[in-house]
Structure 1
Amino acid sequence: MTQSLARHLTTIAIFSATLAPITVAASVVQAADVNIYTSRQPELIQPVLDAFTKETGLSTATIFIDKGLEERVKAEGANSPADLVMTVDIGRLDAAKQAGIVQPVDSATLATNIPANFRDGAKDWFALTARGRVVYASKDRVDVAAIRYKDLADPKWKGRLCTRSGQHQYNIALIAAYIAHYGEDAARDWVKGLRDNLARRPEGGDRDQAKAIFAGECDIALGNTYYVGKMATNEKEPEQKDWAKAIQVIMPTFDNGLTHVNISGVALAKNAPHKENAIKLMEFLSSDDAQKIYAELNYEYPVEPGIATSDLVKSFGALKSDTLALDEIAKHRATASEIVDELNYDGGPQS
């Protein structure tokens, strides 16, 4: 073991007691060619990492950090073994940028493969996949083919809407997008309307909202598209297939006729010890081969234009992604969070 790697492992041991819990794969303690800190479950990204290793001969290692990723990398400082930060949600990527733990990447390959609205204007992070923030609607009790985000606050849905916590990153991103489109005052009125249309206090995850529709607790819900694919193909918990069968996916839109999307993404760590290899992996993740793997296995939308989605995802209907730049949405996240607290959204319906 090199002295450098020994210091990295010592750092891990020191901070594991005070920072978020982590799961360390056995390969992490070895000298990998690219070290990845990720808040995504490693099994979700392993197939594409295996493809990268097969093509380049470069090895990868992942450290899964569910919470406190930014704090951990910052605390490790110049001794951090992290080459890449991989996470979900524009908020998490922006948080990494604001924490000063990433650095810009000037890559013609990334600029060609990833549309401008799916990458940071300062080149600090890049989207890898997209997922629509859509409406789950009961097949039995909802007879509409189209809906606007504005419509979810219409009193006709009173007592019929379910969501997870308003403070969850996926909902904060949606509210931030609403602010970007319509302004803070309009967003506050919208969130108030959502709150008062709730069938119950917000709870659980997106799959739980589909479960609630299946159980008749509500008729519509907000959820990400890829969860529907995960439920529909879940062999370990087959009851989730029933939840998926109970709902239809409706692509809600802003006034521009486009749907809010969130992302998974990647950034180059500020002190990446294997910078050149890390950039090679970033470029591979934006390639045709990697984007196809993501699309087929994770039921996500490729961000590279021209890559087909899986057949199951196609069954949801066409996703016309909002063209609003994600870094513009990120600017409004703090205000979105304040609105959720101000209106006590998580307290449930209040009128």
Structure 2
Amino acid sequence: MFAKMKPTAFALLAATIAAPALADEVNLYSYRQPELLKPLTDAFTAETGINVNVAYLEKGMIERLTAEGTRSPADLVLTVDIARLAAVVDAGLTQPVDSAALSANVPAAFHDPDGHWWGLSTRARVVYASKERVKPGDVTTYEDLADPKWKGRICTRSGTHAYNVALTAAVLHHLGEDGARAWLEGVKANLARKPQGNDRAQVKAIWAGECDIAIGNTYYMGEMLKDSEQKEWADSVNIVFPVFEGGGAHVNISGVAMTKAAPHRENALKMMEFLTSPQAQEIYAHANFEYPIAPGTEPDALVKGWGSFTPDSVNLMELAKLRPAALKLIEEVDFDG
């Protein structure tokens, strides 16, 4: 269902197709929650006068765009996780965009080398560590997670979840197939319990004493600190930014791409350039507890308080290509078994 951000919002696909295109609008398909996007769309409209119509999709974006074909009303897609961005590109549903503003705002590691998608914010895959039972410096690298000293002390969600598949793809990039297999086997041997729950559930398990460290995304800390029940869980852990030996911290991304059919291409480009601008990225980062990527931008004060890190320099599209091999390794070692 389409959510109206402005009075001219397109509500039904049939009506949109039948109606003439309006020059003062841009149409966006998004997996992100309305409350995260509204500050951005309001700011864009205030600056440009262009109305933003948003269709919030929980799933099926590729299927929908494919079914609509060249008659699709969508100008842009905005989603999280490199796997989803790469899948839209691989399905032939996007077009390359070449823009000096985009290139200036988005570092090379955070956009498609061919210009099909552009990053907006990042989240790091970090270690949540018990304040009581883990000393500073006990874990500094992702490789450390396979050290037998952590036997019976690690919690994580399913190894086949998209977040952990992405991390394993990064391990595969850095350590090769044999190294990644040994790493997965080592981490599995160190688990305190069978992989289960979401990232927040891992922090709760540390608070409850079921494990000492867990793997999770940074932004969950911000969300837990806002929740009266979960704040106690969050207060029981420190965030540790591990790195790969010879590399940086693993990050994933939210990003935007222009659809192949884009009926309002000029407006869509203006919105892409706005979304990657320092102004918009700081608005977005404040709403979602993620890290802006435009040069000179700062994260939200709460996020900044967790510490700084150096992102891994590998282009995320390279990691997207490794995801099938990473998933195969996860299944071969029966990580969730």
TM-score w.r.t. the length of structure 1 is: 0.89
User: Which residue of structure 2 aligns with residue 12 of structure 1?
Assistant: none
User: Which residue of structure 1 aligns with residue 224 of structure 2?
Assistant: 231
Distance (whole Å) between structure 2 residues aligned to residue 138 and residue 177 of structure 1: 25
Matched to 1:29, the amino acid is A
Identity of aligned residues (%): 54
Matched to 2:147, the amino acid is D
Q: Structure 1 residue 29 and structure 2 residue 11: aligned?
A: yes
Q: Structure 1 residue 153 and structure 2 residue 131: aligned?
A: no
User: Which residue of structure 1 aligns with residue 314 of structure 2?
Assistant: 324
User: Which residue of structure 2 aligns with residue 137 of structure 1?
Assistant: 129
Distance (whole Å) between structure 2 residues aligned to residue 67 and residue 186 of structure 1: 34
Runs (5+) with no aligned partner, structure 1: 1-22
Corresponding residue SS for 1:183: helix
Distance (whole Å) between structure 1 residues aligned to residue 194 and residue 64 of structure 2: 33
Summarize deviations over 1:214-242 as a string: whole Å, max 9, x none.
111111111111111111123xxx11111
Q: What's the C-alpha RMSD, in Å, of the aligned pairs?
A: 1.4
Matched to 2:303, the amino acid is V
Distance (whole Å) between structure 2 residues aligned to residue 210 and residue 288 of structure 1: 32
Summarize deviations over 1:232-260 as a string: whole Å, max 9, x none.
123xxx11111110110000010125111
Corresponding residue SS for 2:307: coil
Post-superposition offset of 1:89: 0.8
Distance (whole Å) between structure 1 residues aligned to residue 328 and residue 247 of structure 2: 27
Q: Is the 8 A contact 2:40 2:283 kept in 1?
A: yes
Summarize deviations over 1:286-314 as a string: whole Å, max 9, x none.
11210111222221111102101122112
Post-superposition offset of 1:67: 2.0
Which of 241, 245, 250 is 1:255 aligned to?
A: 245
User: Which residue of structure 2 aligns with residue 18 of structure 1?
Assistant: none
Matches within 5 A, 1:1-351: 23-26=1-4, 27-29=9-11, 33-145=25-137, 146-234=139-227, 238-347=228-337
Post-superposition offset of 1:342: 1.2
Post-superposition offset of 1:199: 1.4
Post-superposition offset of 1:93: 0.6
Matched to 1:153, the amino acid is A
User: Which residue of structure 2 aligns with residue 15 of structure 1?
Assistant: none
Distance (whole Å) between structure 1 residues aligned to residue 105 and residue 225 of structure 2: 30
Q: Is the 8 A contact 2:278 2:295 kept in 1?
A: no
Post-superposition offset of 1:159: 1.3
Matched to 2:267, the amino acid is N
User: Which residue of structure 2 aligns with residue 20 of structure 1?
Assistant: none
Distance (whole Å) between structure 1 residues aligned to residue 247 and residue 135 of structure 2: 20
Distance (whole Å) between structure 2 residues aligned to residue 243 and residue 61 of structure 1: 38
Post-superposition offset of 1:87: 0.7
Distance (whole Å) between structure 2 residues aligned to residue 201 and residue 86 of structure 1: 33
Distance (whole Å) between structure 2 residues aligned to residue 67 and residue 306 of structure 1: 34
Moved over 6 A (4+): none
Matched to 2:190, the amino acid is N
Q: Is the 8 A contact 2:247 2:313 kept in 1?
A: no
Distance (whole Å) between structure 2 residues aligned to residue 69 and residue 109 of structure 1: 27
Post-superposition offset of 1:51: 0.5
Runs (5+) with no aligned partner, structure 2: 17-21
